[in-house]
Structure 1
Amino acid sequence: MPRPADTRPADTPTAPTVPALPPVADQAERLVALGVHELAGLPAEELRAEAARLAADLPGPGHPRGPGQQAEALLVVSSRLVPPSALAPLMRLPVRGGERSGFVVEDMTDVDDFAPVDGIEVPEGPLYLVLSPDRGDDLANWSPEEALPELARRGRSPLLLAEGVHWALQAPGVVADNHCYMTIGSRRRKDDGRLDSRTPAVWISRGTGRDGRERRGAPKVGWCWAGNRHTWLGFASATGRRG
């Protein structure tokens, strides 16, 4: 598929470097510090032990890399235990004089109904790893409908919304001005079986509309139409998942 025409201004700044993920053990400590284990109904020691088991089975230094990809692993608590609506308020971004907490946009009250699309198999355990996450900056200005087959062609799997929020918890700088990401592995099915036209994303509020000025600069979970293009949204993906 040819790349859609790039309509971004010529002076658009170079994408900021995607921050490296901490070791899996450190990610487990981060989740405990945020209280995610309590939301999941897991003792802290159980979360740590499960994270250690997963880390011990990680691919070695020979794990394949691709352009702009990191041979890393993101620790994720199953959304069956902690849905995106509970995780989103734990996101943080710095602003002048402090920081802003994350939120879900007001017209996405059904955020937890967004489920993996066909072809994505999520490990069954309480925790799992997402391998080599990539923000997909090079796909900015593609629509979700255009990006999904391209990711498949590259042998990559689109991130689920909960995975995208976990990434923001562990590496807040991955959500950057004009360089945010969609998580098109999650879609909501209507009663008739068809996909809802909305596709979820993680980006930064400008404090307009129903977001409110007090949320300017806050990380947020929102949505975009499946056929629309946005120059400031890439498509987050991974090489796979391991449980």
Structure 2
Amino acid sequence: MTQPATASRTSELDRELDRQLDTLLAKGYPALAGLDEERFIGQVETLRPLLARVDFGEQAALPFLVVVRHAVVPTVAAVERFEVKGRSGWTDMADEIDGYRPIEGVEVPQSPVYLLTDVSTGPETLNVRPADALPMIRAAGRTPLTVDEGVALVTQLPDSLTELNAFQVVGSRTGNKRIPSFWISKGAPRLGWCWEGNPHTWLGSASAAARLAP
């Protein structure tokens, strides 16, 4: 059951938005976006009025995520700024990652930044093939995460890869059978891929309730 953002809950969400903004500033997102800090902050602040609409369940990994689209901050640069247990992120998908697009039925806002609500790493889909997890997610009235949203999740909740379950983002695909995935590899956070037909005991399929944009 979801909980509405009451006055006290909205105050908590305000503090969480401040935390996420501070994280993005510390990781140099304004410069990566080609913006001065004031303008970047202004873009994120357009999301604050949306907090009153944020609903989330008790099992949410995060009540919401600030998602910065890869058109604003390139995916590889964002991944390289992951930090989990003192190790920076890496990917072996640099040559192909920009070819991944939201799948049919996943409507992503075109604003530079937006909110993703009631975010889960998908523990209920552990050891379930991504091809089978997608209809489970949709049957629950939820939406699968995209690459941009997976990047946002590891950026804002790096412990998700060590204290929760690693996860796949079945909401982004290209013309192959690969599913972009986030896990710890060689001791560091990684954006890689796994086959759509393979189940993994340590990989869930991440999902969320909704996307909100100004």
With normalisation by structure 2, the TM-score equals 0.86
Aligned to 1:174: 160
User: Does 1:26 pair with 2:13?
Assistant: no
Structural mapping, 1:6-155, within 5 Å: 23-59=16-52, 63-65=55-57, 68-69=59-60, 72-94=63-85, 99-105=86-92, 109-155=95-141
Residues 73-103 of structure 1: per-residue CA shift (max 9 Å, x gap): 1001111122322211111111xxxx21100
Q: Distance in 2 between matches of 1:166 and 1:57?
A: 18
Q: Pick one of 188, 202, 212 that aligns with 1:232.
A: 202
Which amino acid in structure 2 is aligned with residue 161 of structure 1?
V
Q: Which residue in the other structure is 1:203 paired with?
A: 183
Aligned-pair distance for 1:176? 1.3
| Structure 2 Cα separation of the partners of residues 127 and 42 of structure 1 | 13
Contact 1:93–1:218 under 8 Å retained in 2: yes
Distance in 2 (alpha carbons) for counterparts of 1:167 and 1:183: 11
Among the aligned pairs, what percent are the same residue?
Answer: 35
Q: Which stretch has the larger CA shift, 143-152 or 73-82? A: 73-82
Moved more, 38-47 or 140-149: 38-47
Query: What secondary structure does 2:80 align onto?
Result: helix
Gaps of 5+ in 2: 1-12
Matches within 5 A, 1:175-194: 175-176=161-162, 179-189=165-175
| CA drift at 1:139 | 0.6
* Structure 1 CA distance for aligned equivalents of residues 133 and 120 of structure 2: 14
Alpha-carbon spacing, 1:60–1:186, altered in 2? closer, same or farther (3 Å): closer
SS of the residue 1:76 aligns to? strand
Structure with the higher helix share, 1 or 2: 2
Q: Once the 2 structures are TM-superposed, how far is the Cα of residue 108 of structure 1 from its aligned partner?
A: 5.7
The structure number with the bigger radius of gyration is: 1
**CA offset digits 1:119-156 (Å, max 9, x no partner):** 11111111111111101011100011000011000011
User: Are residues 70 and 182 of structure 1, via their aligned partners in 2, closer, same or farther at CA, if it must alter by over 3 Å?
Assistant: closer
Which 4+ runs in 1 deviate beyond 3 A? none
What is the aligned length?
201
**Contact persistence 2:61–2:121 (CA under 8 A):** no
Higher alpha-carbon deviation: 169-178 or 142-151: 169-178
Root-mean-square deviation (Å): 2.1
Does the 8 Å CA contact 2:165/2:202 hold for their aligned counterparts? yes
Q: How far did residue 109 of structure 1 move?
A: 2.5
Give unmatched runs, 5+ long, in structure 1. 1-19, 190-195, 208-216
Matched residues in 2 for 1:45 and 1:108: separation? Answer: 30
TM-score with structure 1 length normalisation?
0.77
For the 8 Å contact 2:56–2:63, the answer to whether it is kept is no
Q: In structure 2, the residue corresponding to 1:75 is in which secondary structure?
A: strand
